Amino acid sequence: MTPTKITPAALRAMKSRGEKIAALTAYDCPMARLLDEAGVPFILVGDSLSMVVLGFPDTTHVTMADMEHHTRAVARAKPQALVVADMPFRSYETVTSAVENAKRLVAAGAEAVKAEGGRAIIEQVRAIVAAGIPFCGHLGMLPQHVLEEGGYKVKGKIETEHQALLADADALVAAGAFAMVLELVTRPVAAEITKRIPIPTIGIGAGADCDGQILVTPDLLGMLPWFNLKHVKPKLNAAEQMRTVVREWMDEVKAARAR
């Protein structure tokens, strides 16, 4: 049977059926193919590539050119999964720039875009949706604001944050978002938002009550041993396996030269 192409509507249908959504990141064609062959329905070309691939300390360094380049690489895998691309730092400060840059990502192969914020960017969201581009929201801890906030902080612990998150979620739904990521939101607030809105919530460090979960794939595979993240339990120790294989191969090379 021919696999069915995943669409934003398909993800909303998964929520209505109570079917959990598994989402992972990809930054290149081989990883996108592997994730797609595993059946992952939602592939994010995340601006996390700033740290994971490009070696920067946070996501504020990644550019539109970077995002276009990696989106093209992922799109070449022609996955059945929905390909969503992050709008990078300062690429959606105005309505005009938001629409122009969202169109650039779609031209590069994205089937939807994601940006951080709720009511603060709601006009940009409306304009992107009006342009016919599916939009995924991102609430809670906003990595692109890490410098001004002084670090990565859990959101929803105090009542003002709680109410702001509810208002932002409602605003994104009203503006036409098809899903939203909830990052580092307290579990009770994430659960409340998930029950409150008709579109899927995709959690990361926000508890198990969300409609789905997303992780940075190298974190899941244990490829980044230099970082210790509380919300991730690696399923592999790929970094050590890779080092072992490389050393074995180097020994084979040296042994062959000795003969």
Task: Give whole-number Cα distances, 191 to 10, 133, 147, 216, 230, in Å.
Answer: 21, 27, 28, 22, 20
Q: What is the SS3 assignment for 86?
A: strand
The residue with tokens 């995924």 is: 136
Quote the CA–CA distance of 213 and 195 in Å, as a whole number. Answer: 16
- Given a contact cutoff of 8 angstroms between Cβ atoms, the answer to whether 88 and 66 are in contact is yes
Quote the CA–CA distance of 114 and 139 in Å, as a whole number. Answer: 11
Q: What is the SS3 assignment for 96?
A: helix
Query: Which residues have a catalytic role annotated?
Result: 183
Quote the CA–CA distance of 135 and 32 in Å, as a whole number. Answer: 20
